[in-house]
Structure 1
Amino acid sequence: MNAIDISAILSVAFLGSLGHCIGMCGGFVMAYTSAKIDPSSAALHQFFAHLIYNFGRMSAYVVLGLLFGALGSLFTFSAYVSGYFYFVAGIIMVLMGLSMMGKIKFLTSLESNLAFHPFVKKLFSYLIHTKKMVSFYGLGVLNGFLPCGLVYFFLAKAATSGSAFYGALTMALFGLATMPVMLGLGYVVGFLKGNVFRDWMIKIASLIIVLYGIYMSYLGYSAVVG
């Protein structure tokens, strides 16, 4: 994992959390905050509840990163095969970035349809109606496994790492970079939901995804023809 990789992960994750995550997860966070957290409770208790939720979210990301990194290792037996894998992964990243910009529809239906699957709704209902602290962790795990265009990009990156360890590390970095905004969502949601601000953050993050996808495809092309 080089400096370009780490820079892309942190910048896309942070900017994406200011744009895409607010739209995708904002309702989720506000729902459990309203239903499960008493506004009159101690500030430390409220913070701890949000922190547990975010740890649950990160746990799901790390597991997914580990699985996709291990899957990617199957394509790293030779530079030639790896080149094709990098090229295809880069094209997918470009399509994801264009989809987030609203230029094309790519995985959009999957992102929305699975989120409203009856099983997901039933599990969410159970977790949101129990007051146990561990339920915040469960909600975070559920949120982490829900389909999301931004997560798809990082899973593609995890797969290209060709390592279960680096795949998990990629997703851990993604989770950490999105945590500040997700932790403070309840306090600054009014500002972050501003359409102009969110649109700009999504556009910048999407552009970085497109450029990084082109970079990955170039690396794959160079490996194949070189």
Structure 2
Amino acid sequence: MCGGFVMAYSSAKIDTSASSLRQFFAHLSYNLGRISSYTFLGMIFGGIGSVFTFSSHLNGYFYFAIGILMVLMGLSMMGKIKFLTSLEATIAFNPFIKTLFSKLIHSKTMASFYGLGVLNGFLPCGLVYFFLAAAATSGSFLGGGLIMALFGLATMPAMLGLGFVVGFLKGSGFREVMIKIASLIIMGYGIYMAYLGYTAAIA
């Protein structure tokens, strides 16, 4: 989902003849919007975690479920199942999302790049789900927001790099290779999380 967004706005909104500085600020605005959404969601989940007490057993079930979800998303990214495709399609074809995306993708203002980042932050992503789980178990409104803000900042270099090499990615099989590698990483981490959750639940 994140990669698709970067490919879409880089192709439709960024003129390759524009200065490198303008292109950089366009990508930066998009990423700041994404981080804003992540931080907001982290604060909400952290707030929920502060209301409910998470026992070690409940944490185990929670992480087991997140691990299985990540495995399903990895398989979906590889095209083995349609789990993620169906989830993304359900949201992407929402009339409000379609209208908002259309307006933002056809605008070339810096604010529109930020808006696309905000929109992307609320769309399905396996890694986001995992870190939201961590935000919830932090049991803190501010702690949850900080976890998600750090997650967004940590992923910014990769997203910035993707924006600048989008032309190369469109013209080669490199993107497919990277998707498969990312799928395997997500699945491996999902299995690891499910294992940790299982051991905590039965302890």
The answer to whether TM tops 0.5 is yes
Change (3 A) 1:188 1:170: same
Change (3 A) 1:203 1:82: same
CA distance in 2, matches of 1:213, 1:72: 22
Please tell me whether residue 122 in structure 1 is matched to residue 122 in structure 2.
Answer: no
TM score, norm. by length of structure 1: 0.72
**1:134 to partner: Cα distance:** 2.6
CA distance in 2, matches of 1:172, 1:183: 16
User: For structure 2, which runs of at least 5 residues remain unmatched after alignment?
Assistant: none
Change (3 A) 1:158 1:209: farther
CA distance in 2, matches of 1:81, 1:212: 20
Q: Aligned AA for 2:153?
A: L
Q: 1:62 aligns with which of 39, 42, 45?
A: 39
CA distance in 2, matches of 1:72, 1:222: 22
Please tell me whether residue 84 in structure 1 is matched to residue 61 in structure 2.
Answer: yes
Q: 2:9 aligns with which of 24, 28, 51?
A: 28
CA distance in 2, matches of 1:118, 1:125: 11
CA distance in 2, matches of 1:81, 1:187: 43
Q: Aligned AA for 1:146?
A: L
**1:88 to partner: Cα distance:** 2.0
**1:156 to partner: Cα distance:** 4.4
Q: Aligned AA for 1:177?
A: A
User: For structure 1, which runs of at least 5 residues remain unmatched after alignment?
Assistant: 1-19
Please tell me whether residue 197 in structure 1 is matched to residue 178 in structure 2.
Answer: no
Please tell me whether residue 39 in structure 1 is matched to residue 17 in structure 2.
Answer: yes
**1:132 to partner: Cα distance:** 4.4
**1:128 to partner: Cα distance:** 4.2
Sequence identity (%)? 68
| SS of equivalent to 1:28 | helix
CA distance in 1, matches of 2:152, 2:33: 10
Contact 2:66–2:129 (Cα < 8 Å) also in 1: no
Q: 1:49 aligns with which of 2, 18, 26?
A: 26
Q: Which residue of 2 aligns with 1:136?
A: 113
Of the structure 1 ranges 128-137 and 57-66, higher mean CA displacement relative to structure 2 is found in 128-137
| SS of equivalent to 2:91 | helix
Contact 1:96–1:149 (Cα < 8 Å) also in 2: yes
Aligned alpha-carbon RMSD (Å): 3.0
Of the structure 1 ranges 84-93 and 68-77, higher mean CA displacement relative to structure 2 is found in 68-77
CA distance in 2, matches of 1:26, 1:195: 13
Change (3 A) 1:204 1:154: farther
Of the structure 1 ranges 147-156 and 194-203, higher mean CA displacement relative to structure 2 is found in 147-156
Contact 2:38–2:149 (Cα < 8 Å) also in 1: yes
Change (3 A) 1:154 1:204: farther
**1:129 to partner: Cα distance:** 4.8
Alignment size in residue pairs: 203
Please tell me whether residue 213 in structure 1 is matched to residue 190 in structure 2.
Answer: yes
Contact 1:51–1:183 (Cα < 8 Å) also in 2: yes
